[in-house]
Structure 1
Amino acid sequence: MPSFDLSRYRFRLGDDDLGALILIAAGEPVPDRLASAVAGLGEAGLIWPDGRLAEALQPLINTVLGASVVVGIETAGRQGKLAHGLLVGSDDVFSHEAWPDEQESEYVRVDRNMIVWELARMVNLQRPEVPLTGLDTVDATLGALDAALAAQGYAATPADEPTAVRAALAATGGLDEPDLSRLTELIVHLRCSWRMTAAWPGQDGTRSGLTARGFAIWDCGPLGHWHRVLPAEPVMEDATGPTVPLRLTRILPKEIWQMIAELLPDASQINEPPAV
């Protein structure tokens, strides 16, 4: 069910809830498939009996409809995949975070000066740097990674995972030491992987269009953070086959912080979208 907390100005909304609110705000008809979402929003007090949106929603809806920069964060781990993000509007900034096995995401207003801090918090970026000796770059293929992750999922117990992962990597061929041992360690200790992408209306070559840039990180717990250099973000659909090179490079938290800051465009890089 949708809900809100005005004391901290936060909302819990599902995708259907937000879709219905956007249509109502734009004066568009709401399809029958969203009728249950409209009913839930009415029960929560977010849609008034006369069909108007609650005034408290206006900053959020204005930001969703008029966002100049959209940051998406996709995370993948043992609890599945989650989507988080940030919407930067002309007046307000909102973050949204999902929760495992829940339909709703939490939307919270963010101070514009705290955007980098908020994005770092959303990916659980921690200040301590984990010392690690030995190999700091690993090369493989996406096919080898897929085989190793599948073998890890089929392992009978966590104690069996290192053997299963190593055997799967070795069976794909093309991996020698020390890459074989280090990639086995990274996969076994992988807490989660995430990728962060920022998109905005900017310049695409010589034409005005959508500009995007991003990067991907593996959080390997005691083995630290690893930048997925290849395939480079944003990854196109034709760059995900089994023979596509995979390259991971050790990276420190302070370097990730800088990458987050550099991900966001400055005002000169943004073309305001045309008025609707």
Structure 2
Amino acid sequence: MPSFDVSRSRFRLADEHVVVLSELAAGEEVPEEYTTAHKELVECGLIHRDGKLSHLLLPLMKTVLSPVVVISLEAGGRQGKLHHGMMIGQDDVVAHEAWPGQAEAEYSLVEPKTLVWKLADMVGLRQAPAAREAALPVVETTLGTVEAGLTALETLPPGGSADQERDYIGQGLASAGTLDGAALTQLTELISELRSSWRMTAAWQTAPGGLPAVEARGFAVWDCGPLGYWLRELPAEPLTADAITSATPFRLVRVDAKTIWTRITGLLPGEGEIRRA
């Protein structure tokens, strides 16, 4: 069920609720398949009985309908995949954060001056006191090999020990035939300690030569807990599914939290890069 917190301008909304609100805010009819979502929004008070939207939604819907910059954050971990993000409008900034196992995401208004801090918090960026030393600062292989190791982790029988988990992952990586020795051991450890892997992408409209176009920047990171942060340099972001195969080169490079902070800041476009409506 949708809900909201007036004191902090927060809203819990599923995708269906956002569709309904967007259609109404744009002056359109709500599609029949969203009748249940529409009823839930009326019952919680975000849509009045006369069909008008609550005034509380004005900054949120204005930004959702006309964002200047859209930031997408796709995160994967042992609890599955989550999609977070941020929309930067002319006047307001809206963040949305998913929760494992829940249909609703939390939409909240963010003070524009703190949006980089908010993005860093979304990925759990922390200045760790001391991460374990890694035998290799760079790991290179193929995407197919990495997928074999991750698949082994996903299919690991429940109740196994940490050593059994590493053996299972190592066997999956070795089966691809592209890694051995220190590199095989290192990637096995990284996957075993993997808290989350995520990719952050920013997109906005630009006008090269006067013609409207979309510009995008992005990067991807593995958060490996006690083994620290690893920047995925290859395949480089932003990428599309049809641009990669099992033979696509894959490279992880050990980085610190400061580097990731710099990367997040660097995603945001400069004033001269954005096409204003």
Q: Which category of TM-score, normalised to the shorter sequence, fits these structures?
A: over 0.9
Mapped partners of 1:201, 1:111: distance in 2: 22
Alignment of 1:27-106 (within 5 A): 27-106=27-106
Contact 1:199 1:210 in 2 (8 A): yes
Alignment of 1:164-175 (within 5 A): 164-175=168-179
Mapped partners of 1:207, 1:248: distance in 2: 37
Mapped partners of 2:9, 2:107: distance in 1: 9
Shift of 1:203: 4.4
3-state DSSP of counterpart to 2:52: coil
Mapped partners of 2:24, 2:2: distance in 1: 16
Contact 2:153 2:168 in 1 (8 A): yes
Corresponding residue to 1:250 among 237, 247, 254: 254
Give % identity: 48
Alignment of 1:97-116 (within 5 A): 97-116=97-116
Structure 2 counterpart of 1:241: 245
Shift of 1:145: 1.1
Structure 2 counterpart of 1:185: 189
Mapped partners of 1:168, 1:113: distance in 2: 45
Which deviations, in whole Å up to 9, do the C-alpha atoms of 1:77-111 show, x marking residues without a partner? Answer: 00000000111001110111000010111011101
Shift of 1:176: 2.6
Structure 1 counterpart of 2:19: 19
Structure 2 counterpart of 1:135: 136
Mapped partners of 1:30, 1:272: distance in 2: 29
Bigger Cα displacement from structure 2, 203-212 vs 63-72: 203-212
Shift of 1:206: 7.8
Bigger Cα displacement from structure 2, 231-240 vs 72-81: 231-240
Shift of 1:183: 0.5
Mapped partners of 1:205, 1:189: distance in 2: 47
Shift of 1:177: 2.2
Asked if 1:208 is matched to 2:212, the reply is yes
Question: Unaligned 5+ residue runs, structure 2?
Answer: none
Mapped partners of 2:209, 2:244: distance in 1: 24
What letter corresponds to residue 70 of structure 1 in structure 2?
Answer: V
Structure 1 counterpart of 2:235: 231
Contact 2:135 2:186 in 1 (8 A): no
3-state DSSP of counterpart to 1:72: strand
Asked if 1:146 is matched to 2:147, the reply is yes
Q: CA RMSD in A?
A: 1.3
Shift of 1:112: 0.5
